[in-house]
Homo-oligomer: A and B are copies of this chain.
C-alpha cells in the first residue's frame, strides 16, 4: 500500500469526499474503532458516492502508526497541482495568492492553506524543494482545505515571482525587519502575492529583494516572533478586512 497518498482525520476525509476534487480509492475503517457520528457520516457519504469502504483488523493500521488516524484512513489520488501558467492566464479579476518560502513544518503549511481558503484567496504556491510538501499531515492540518484552492508547485520561486510581476501582481514579503506595518499597506484593487518565509530562516534574501513591499508585524513585547501560520493569519485577514470594509464604505 502507498503510504504517500492517504488522508487521515475524520473531518479531512469528509471534506475530501464532499469536495469531489480527489478520487478516493478506498476507505479503511478499523474494526476496533469507536463508531461515532463522524465515522457514521463517512460511511453514509461513501455509500452515497459509491466509494469502497472496508472494516479491517486494527493490525492493518500499524503501517500508519506515525499518524493520529483514529482508526480511519482514506487512500486517495495524489493532490492535483495546478499549473502556474494556466492559473495566471485566467486573468479576469484581482487575485490574492500566498507563496511559501521554506516553511518546513507541515502543520504550518496546512494551517496557512486553511486560512487562505477561508479568506477567499486564489492559490498557494510552494517550491518543490526547501519547503514541506503537501502530504497527509498537511492535508490533515488544513482540515481538507487543500481541495478548495489551487495548489501550485514550482521549481523556482525566483522565476515565479518574475512571472507574477509580469502579470501585474504586487509582491509583499513578510519580514521582521520590514519597514511598514502590515496594516499600513493597501491590499485592495490589485492582485498580490504574500510571501511567508520559513520558521527559522524567514523569506530568502533574493526574494526580499524582488518584493515591492516588505511588511512587519509589530511586536508589542520584547519577544522573538509569531508562529508563521499565526503571522500569515494576521496579514491575510487584514487584507480581508480592508476589502470588506472598503466595500461597505463605498455602498
Identify the A interface with B (CB < 8 A).
Answer: 11, 15, 107, 111, 114-115, 117-120, 141, 143, 145, 148-149, 181, 183, 217-221, 223-227, 229-234, 236-238, 240-241, 244-245
Contact = CB atoms under 8 A, between A and B. Distances in A.
13 contacts: A111-B229, A114-B227, A118-B219, A148-B223, A183-B244, A183-B245, A218-B240, A230-B230, A230-B232, A231-B233, A234-B236, A237-B238, A238-B238
A227 B240 CA distance: 17
Contacts of A245: 183
A115 to B, nearest CB: 5
Contact of A117 (B107, B223, B238, B241): B223
Nearest to A107: B107
Nearest to A115: B230
A118 B181 contact: no
Q: Counting chain B CB atoms within 10 Å of each CB, which of A141, A225, A234, A241 scores highest?
A: A234
B115 A227 contact: yes
Contact of A233 (B114, B149, B225, B233): B233
A118 B226 contact: yes
Contacts of A219: 118
Given A11-B224, A118-B226, A143-B227, 9 more contacts: A107-B107, A111-B230, A115-B227, A118-B223, A118-B225, A183-B245, A233-B234, A234-B234, A237-B237
A118 B218 CA distance: 8
Given A234-B233, A238-B241, A221 B183 contact: no
Nearest to A227: B111
A139 to B, nearest CB: 14
Contacts of A226: 114-115, 118, 233
A217 B230 contact: no
Nearest to A232: B230
The 5 closest A-B pairs by CB, nearest first: A120-B220, A234-B237, A230-B233, A233-B233, A183-B241
Contacts of A148: 221, 223
Contacts of A111: 227, 229-230
A35 to B, nearest CB: 17
A132 to B, nearest CB: 15
